[in-house]
Amino acid sequence: MKSLGYYNGKIGAPEELTVPFTDRGLYFGDGVYDATTSANHIPFAIDDHIDRFFRSFQAARIPFAMSKQELRQLLCDLCAKVEDGCYLLYWHTTRGSGERSHAFPPAGTPANLLVYLTPCEMTPPEKVLTLMTAPDIRHHMLNVKTLNLLPNVLTAQQAVEQGVDEAVYHRGDYVTEGFHSNIMMIKDGALCTPPADNLILPGITRKHLMELAHKMDIPVKEAPITLTELFDADEVLVTNSGALCNRVSHIDGKPVGDKAQDLVKRLQDAYAAWFNEETHSQTFSC
C-alpha cells in the first residue's frame, strides 16, 4: 500500500476513509497537528514530535486521551505497514464532533485522531533555495501547531507563482519564520535564530541544529533578527523536517549568503549522519 490513512481506529487507503462533517476540524480548524519523516519504517525524532504535539493540544485544551507511549506505538505500527522508502508521517487531533457551536462541545466528547502516511522525497541538503519576504498576518499562537493554516496556504501559493521555494515572514522589520519552516542564519561563525516565543513554531529541526552546533563548539545566538541583518548574513538557512537544512541564495531576487558554506556543510553532514543512524537507512549521503 503506497499511502495509508487512519481515523479513530479505522485503517485503509486515504481515499476509502471518511471523516464526519461534524468534525470540528472542518468547522473551525479546531485542532492541532504534527509531522515528521519516516525512513526504513522508522519515524525520525518521533519522541520530540510527540512531545511538541502534546504541548500543542494541551495549550488548545483538546481532550486527547492517548498517552505518549500509546500514540508512539500506534504511529510506529502504522509506519511498519507501508512499503519501503521515505514517507511523510502526519497526524492531527480535533476537538471531536458535534453540532456547529463555537464553544467547546459537551464534556466527555472524545477527540478525533487522523493519521496520514504518504511517500515523499526529502530535499537534499545540497539544494540551494530562493526566498521571498511576506508580512506575517497570522495569529499570535504560532508556538501551537494548529490546523488554522489559511495564511500559510495563501503565502505558499504566492511563492509558487513567484517561482521561489519559501517565504520569510516578518512583523515590521523583525523576521519570524517561513510558511512551513524555520529561518536561521550564520553570522560571524555563530548560528543565529529568532527566539522561541509565541510568534514562531519551536521547530524540531531548529532544535536539533542548535544541539548539533553546541556539540561542535559553534556558538548559538537566540535573539531577534531584522530583515537588514538577514540580508547581511553570511548564510541564510531554511530548516524543516522534510529537508533538514538548506542554504539560501536569493531573497526577493537579491543575492544573500555564500560566505560560510564550509560551516553549513559541517552542520548538514552531522545532521544527515544523525538521520541515517536513527532510521537505519542511507536516505542522505554523507
Sign of CA dihedral 63, 48, 244, 79: negative
Nearest to 37 by CA among 87, 92, 91: 87
Cα 36 from Cα 240, distance rounded (Å): 9
Q: Which of 68, 81, 145, 207 is catalytic?
A: 145
Give the DSSP H or E segment for 159. Answer: helix 150-162
User: What totals of helices (H) and strands (E) does the chain contain, helices first?
Assistant: 7, 15
Residues 6+ apart with CB under 8 A from 280: 40, 42
d(CA 281, CA 266): 20
Phi and psi at 61, nearest 5°, equal 60, 40
- Cα angle 187, 212, 144 (rounded to 5 degrees) comes to 85
Residue 145 among the catalytic residues: yes
* Among candidate residues 263, 268, 233, the one with its CA nearest the CA of residue 249: 233
Evaluate whether 79 touches 113 at the Cβ level (below 8 Å): no
CA 98 from centre of chain:
29
Pairing mode, strands 246-251 and 129-135: parallel
Residue corresponding to grid cell 553532514: 269
Which residues are part of the catalytic machinery?
A: 145
